[in-house]
Amino acid sequence: MQTILIIEDETQTRNIFLKCLAFEGFQAVGACDGKTGIEMAQKHRPDLVVCDIMMPDMDGYSVLSALRKMEQTASIPLVFLSAKVTMADLRRGMELGADDYLTKPCSIEQFLTAVSTRLERQAQLERLYSTQPNLETDSVEADGALMLESRASVNDDGFFPHCPQLETAFRFIESHFSQAIQLDDVAQEVGYSAAYLTTLMQEQTGYTVKRWIIERRMAQARLLLLNTSKSIKEVAEASGYVDAGYFSRQFRKFHDASPQAWREMSVAKPTN
């Protein structure tokens, strides 16, 4: 049975959450203030902590900071509860290691969805890191194009920056960049809200999720242009663009040349 710790100073809200969790089959424990919450986290080692930000004496940020400093509680995922979330709130929570935000007031369904999403994400991470990756890299031919099939982390070739909190997002982009994916798709995969993922990605890498999707598509386009004889339309489709005209315009923005001109210049360079 999974244990959820609710740290909430409003008695009625705390009791509603506890009853709903118990009804859903969780072991639910509650704390009325931050200090008690930290003690209960050490005692029960919950699978998830849901913590209000605005509390007397010790706010949610102080609770999170304390939990992250203790070895026995450092890895417990935490979702903040807040009546109002500003960009400054997101940034501060992110820096301290918060996993997500839930805005109050929220419905029971929203609350339970946030809990289940975060638990599922934690389970995925545990499965991911419980096995050692195979570091072999195979080169295979697919429709005449050189494709690199890596069994290791997508960061091994240095394309994506090394950010542990974002590796799953980068893995998802790597696996789906040739499809019509958007910010919401990536956010759903990693179990973050779109707003939180956007802020986290921008803070950690300087780029947005959309920019990383485009960067990966451009890298694929360059690979195909340089190593295959595919037409521009075929390169566009293989890189995630259904409209070859739009692909060409975006490629030009990034490379100051059309795909065909870039191909001709790049292929000609080694012989000059």
Return d(Cα 122, Cα 129) in angstroms, integer: 11
**CATH classification at residue 259:** 1.10.10.60
Q: Is the pLDDT of residue 18 over 70?
A: yes
Q: What is the mean pLDDT of residues 44-58?
A: 93
Strand (E) or helix (H) holding 95: helix 87-96
Same-domain check for residues 167 and 253: yes
Q: Give the domain-ending residue among 76, 97, 129.
A: 129
Closest C-alpha among 144, 170, 159, 151 to residue 224: 144
Q: Give the domain-ending residue among 100, 129, 158.
A: 129
Same-domain check for residues 114 and 147: no
- At 235 the pLDDT is 94
Q: Is the pLDDT of residue 268 over 80?
A: no
Same-domain check for residues 125 and 226: no
pLDDT tens profile 93-104: 877 778 888 888
Q: Is the pLDDT of residue 220 over 60?
A: yes
Same-domain check for residues 164 and 117: no
**CATH classification at residue 87:** 3.40.50.2300
- At 269 the pLDDT is 60
pLDDT tens profile 193-211: 888 899 889 888 889 999 9
Rg (CA), the chain: 23
Q: What is the mean pLDDT of residues 222-237?
A: 92
Q: Is the pLDDT of residue 120 over 80?
A: yes
Q: Is the pLDDT of residue 238 over 70?
A: yes
Same-domain check for residues 125 and 177: no
Same-domain check for residues 95 and 24: yes
- At 88 the pLDDT is 82
- At 54 the pLDDT is 92
Tokens of 144: 């005449």
Instruction: Show the CA angle centred on residue 235, arms to residues 230 and 238, nearest 5°.
Output: 120
Same-domain check for residues 40 and 11: yes
Dihedral of CA 220/223/227/229: which sign? Answer: positive
Domain encompassing residue 59: 3-129
- Which of 40-44, 80-84, 128-132 has the highest mean predicted lDDT (pLDDT)? 40-44
Distance (Å) of CA 77 to CA 98, 100, 119, 226: 7, 9, 8, 44
**CB of 9 closer than 8 Å to CB of 33:** yes
Give 69 or 215, the one with higher predicted confidence.
Answer: 215
Q: How confident is the model at residue 128 (pLDDT cuts 50, 70, 90)?
A: low
* No. of helices (H) and no. of strands (E), the chain: 12, 7
Mean pLDDT for the chain overall: 83
Distance (Å) of CA 232 to CA 129, 167, 212, 226, 235: 39, 31, 22, 12, 5
Longest Cα separation, the chain: 76
Tokens of 101: 């935000």
Closest C-alpha among 226, 244, 220 to residue 234: 244
- At 262 the pLDDT is 92
Domain count across the chain? 2
Return d(Cα 91, Cα 86) in angstroms, integer: 9
Same-domain check for residues 26 and 101: yes
- At 98 the pLDDT is 83
Q: Give the domain-ending residue among 81, 102, 129.
A: 129
- At 151 the pLDDT is 27
Q: What is the mean pLDDT of residues 125-132?
A: 53
